[in-house]
Amino acid sequence: MSEQSQTIPPGVLGPDRTGAPPETEPSHPPHLQALLSRLEGLAADVARLEARLSQAEAESRELRAETARLDEDLDESRRLNLRAAELLDVVYTELGKQAPRGEAEERGNGE
Amino acid sequence: MSYTIHADSNVLILTGPALPPDHTLSVLLGNRRIWTFRPSDADTSVSGDSLTVRWPPALARRLSGSAELSLLGEGRPISAPFKVHFDDSDADFSLVEPGTGIPQVINKWGRIARSFEGRGTALVEDVLDQAENLISLVRTKMDIDLFVTGGTLLGPVRDGRIMANDDDADLAYLSAHHNPSDIALESYALEKMLTAEGYETVRHSAGHLQLNFPGESINDRFYIDIFTYFVVNGWFYGTFHARERASDVQVLPLRNLDVNGRKLPGPAEPAQMLAAIYGAGWSTPDPAFRFVTPPAARRRFHSWLGDLDADRENWEDYHRAEIAASEGPPPPSEWAERLAAELTPGSKILELGCGLGADALCFADAGHDVYAVDYSRPALHYLASRTAPVEGSLKLRRANLNSLRPAADVARWSSQGGKPLHVYARLLLDSLTPGGQANTLLLIRHVLQNHGPGSLAHIEINPEPADFHDAWNNYRHVDESYLQKQLELQGLHIQDRTVQRKGNNGQPGHIQLSINVRTP
């Protein structure tokens, strides 16, 4: 925008805030008038694109944050998967150690 | 090309024509090849016509004394040999394994490892004998088919025989399971079978088991790795490095390969397996080869299978060096001496992370009943060989507290007897992974609860950053606020705390925080 404001006359892309007294509107040749109108349209397009870009950047930031969060969840889920296997192994090992004693007790009760 | 070389205990500086980043450089110290690398793989910086290479951390902390240094580029001398003085020591630099004197080098993982260059064939034959026994045993007992992989596959396929510098045998099996939990359970079952058969096992992860030979010794003669390979969601995973489309790596049916004159099972398509492990250039020998695990693979292996090692190998090397240099038992800490005197004689103490056992022996000699735990095999072997305590008792257990399974085993093992328990963990949490810290605090809570009123945990940490072991993977300070939060999560309360500054020879030293912890 700063580059455009150097090449386009004050007031074309918005209110003139230079503080200079308003100049008498010169009469432009038709082709220059058409060009100025086109520029006004382009400026509006640029403003719309800028707003969209800003929105897209915000959405991109949100998506990156969400991806990072999901990545952490995924890693945690995988870590818990391993933890579950470790716990299952501890349980099976302990049950395996208790089994002979349990069977002996059952035999003892039966006798 | 010829270069002017400068070296000290931190860096090697080459001044001369620019080197291509993939140029292979070999550093010879004392006329022996110690480290082969490419500038692109090393920690380097360029200034003008000088290339500064920082030594691998594992090597830097071993550089002492002086040595003749020369440099090879692509196997040819590129500098005149010269004498480098790493420090004020008058000794000649020597990179050998403490205890055995076996020459060491920097290996493809950037770690200090044994060099097998010039070794006899008897060792290779012993390794292959044991590999054959294992293949047969695992097939008979578990209906699992092991096959040769890694270096044990590469050498025979590429060179016609086992590589001269290989330091182990690599075996693997393709898991029948596709869920990481089931894959882990299968490997745990394999570990239990092998332990029951008398093998000494070390678990690196839920998919990587190591068997040490002869076992029960301060120094291993050799080891055999058993890797779990598996397929999840159409991807082949070759623990702990390879991740390829399953269609690109055909493992089954296994087929016999000639390995130094023996017929050993190998994967269906050895070239595909070697490409998966070593990359497309596997068939060209590369002395500077380094494993670079793709992030997507590393992340999956790490979270699915865990990483239990942390600094275990560093601690074991450290303990071997201490044992070799020792002229007597190390002195106990002041804290242990004070605690040993304060506790009622006959108190029950569980020491977690006992190392070489100076404090454990101090407690036992003061008449206490001590249960001592560590994951360092040489430390425990050394401690077991020491004179039995005069007054109390000393029981030893090997357990890696980075894993929940052995932590649970320690809880059961130490829960014999009804009297109050004192858990003693000096600078242990600093050495554990975050998961290991959580396991340990959970263990402490359970054993304190199980032993009832009067039970206390005595925990010491370094709460501030300090330059202890920069070559180590995991050893670092423990932030006090983090520890407090973890204690709260376990329902543990700090009863009191003491801060001491530990310095030597008038130096400021570092802070150690001692806390006594109890259950509500």
pLDDT computed for residue A2 by the predictor: 41
Q: What percentage of chain B has pLDDT greater than the value 70?
A: 94
Chain B residues in contact with A90 (beta carbon < 8 A): 404-405, 408-409
What Å distances lie between residue B259 and A108, B172, B224, B440, CA to CA? 56, 15, 15, 44
Q: Is A84–B403 a contact, with Cβ atoms under 8 angstroms apart?
A: no
Please answer yes or no on whether A83 and B404 come within 8 Å at the CB atom. yes
A9 pLDDT higher than 70? no
Residues of A in contact with B300 (CB under 8 A): 78
Q: Give me the pLDDT at residue A102, please.
A: 47
Per-residue pLDDT at B394 exceeds 80? yes
Q: In which residue are the tokens 């076996």 written?
A: B102
CB B184 to CB A78 under 8 A? no
* Cβ atoms of residues A89 and B188 within 8 Å: yes
pLDDT tens column, B198-240: 999 999 999 999 999 987 788 888 899 999 999 999 999 998 8
Q: Is the pLDDT of residue B246 over 90?
A: yes
Q: Mutation test of the interface with chain B: which of A78, A80, A82, A97, choosing the one with the most B Cβ atoms within 10 A?
A: A82
Q: Please state, as a whole number, how many other Cβ atoms lie within 10 Å of the Cβ of residue B379.
A: 26
Q: What is the pLDDT of residues B24-54, one digit of tens each?
A: 899 999 888 899 888 888 889 999 899 999 9
Nearest residue to B160 via CA among B270, B67, B324, B50 = B270
Q: What is the pLDDT of residue A68?
A: 94
CA B302, CA B211: separation in Å to the nearest integer? 21
- Residues B405, A75: C-beta atoms closer than 8 Å: no
Residue of chain B minimizing CA distance to A86: B405
Q: Is B331 exposed, middle or buried (0-12, 13-18, 19+ CB in 10 A)?
A: exposed
Of B183 and A6, the one with more pLDDT:
B183
Asked if the Cβ–Cβ distance from A75 to B303 is below 8 Å, we say: yes
Shortest CA gap A83–chain B (Å): 8
Inter-chain residue contact A78 with B304, CB threshold 8 Å:
yes
At residue B392, what is the residue type?
A: G
**A86–B184 C-beta distance less than 8 A:** yes
Contact list in A for residue B305 (CB cut-off 8 A) is 82
* Residues of chain A contacting residue B180, judged by C-beta atoms under 8 Å apart: 78, 81-82, 85
Residue A23 has pLDDT above 70, yes or no: no
pLDDT at B410: 95
Q: Cβ contact (<8 Å) for B405 and A90?
A: yes
Identify the weakest region by mean pLDDT among A43-52, B159-168, B192-201, B394-403.
B159-168
Give the helix/strand (H/E) hosting B73: strand B66-73
Q: How many CB pairs under 8 A join A and B?
A: 49
Task: Please tell me which residue, B347 or B519, carries the higher pLDDT value.
Answer: B347
Which residue of chain A has the CA closest to B205?
Answer: A82
Q: Find the helix or strand (DSSP H, E) in which B513 lies.
A: strand B510-518
- pLDDT by residue (tens digit) across A52-85? 999 999 999 999 999 999 999 999 999 999 999 9
Q: B178 touching A, CB under 8 A? A: no
CA distance A16 to A27: 18
Q: How far is A42 from chain B (nearest CA, A)?
A: 45
- B-chain CB neighbours of A86 within 8 Å are 184, 206, 403-405
Q: Strand, coil or helix: what is B376? A: coil
Q: Which of A6-10, B50-54, B197-201, B481-485 is predicted with the least confidence, judged by mean pLDDT?
A: A6-10
B139-143, B147-151, B202-206, B490-494 — which is least confidently predicted?
Answer: B490-494
The reply to whether B182 touches chain A by the CB within 8 Å rule is yes
> Using one digit for the tens of pLDDT, what is the confidence trace for B301-360?
999 999 898 889 889 988 988 888 777 667 899 889 999 999 999 999 999 999 999 999
Q: Helix or strand or coil: residue B61? A: coil
Contact yes or no for A81 and B304 at CB 8 A = yes
Cβ <8 Å between A94 and B412: yes
pTM for the full model? Answer: 0.82
Q: Which pLDDT score is estimated for A20?
A: 57
A56 burial type by CB count under 10 A (0-12 exposed, 13-18 middle, 19+ buried): exposed
Across the interface, whether the CB atoms of A82 and B403 are under 8 A apart is answered no
Residue B299 pLDDT:
92
Chain A CB contacts of B192 under 8 Å are: 93
pLDDT in tens, A24-63: 556 788 888 888 888 888 999 999 999 999 999 999 999 9
Q: pLDDT confidence of A109, banded at 50, 70, 90?
A: very low
Tell me the shortest Cα–Cα distance from B184 to chain A, in angstroms.
Answer: 6
Three-point CA angle A46, A49, A50, nearest 5°: 85
Any A CB within 8 A of B188 CB: yes
- Whether residue B81 is predicted with pLDDT greater than 50 in this model: the reply is yes
Q: From chain A, pick out residues whose CB is under 8 angstroms from the CB of B403.
A: 86
Which of B62, B165, B41 has its CA nearest to residue B112? B62
Q: Is the pLDDT of residue A110 over 50?
A: no
Contact B186, B227 (CB under 8 A): no
d(CA B289, CA B283): 12
Give residue B98's pLDDT.
74
What band does B175 get if pLDDT is binned at 50, 70 and 90? very high
Q: Which residue has the higher pLDDT, B457 or B503?
A: B457
Contacts of A79 in chain B (CB under 8 A): 303, 306, 435
Distance CA B438, CA B445 (A): 11
- Nearest beta carbon to residue B184 from set A74, A75, A85: A85
pLDDT at B322: 86
Give the Å distances, CA to CA, from B318 to B77, B328, B356.
34, 16, 10
pLDDT on residue B29: 92
Residue B352 bridge partners (DSSP) = B373
**Please, which pLDDT band fits residue A105 given cuts at 50, 70 and 90?**
very low
Strands across the sheet with B11-15, in order?
B4-7, B11-15, B50-54, B44-47
Position B343 scores a pLDDT of: 95
The reply to whether residue A90 touches residue B404, judged by beta carbons under 8 angstroms, is yes
Beta bridge partners of B28: B33, B70
Instruction: State yes or no: pLDDT of A5 exceeds 50.
Output: no
- In this model, does residue B291 exceed pLDDT 90? no
Q: Mean of the pLDDT values across residues B93-105?
A: 82
Q: Does A75 touch chain B (CB under 8 A)?
A: yes
Over residues B139-147, the mean pLDDT reads 98
pLDDT over 70 (residue B504): no
Q: What ipTM is given for this predicted complex?
A: 0.77
Is some CB atom of chain A closer than 8 A to the CB atom of B181? yes
- Option in B180, B299, B408 nearest A82 (CB): B180
Judging contacts by C-beta atoms under 8 Å, the chain B residues touching residue A87 are 404
Q: How far apart are CA B150 and CA A37, in angstroms?
A: 72
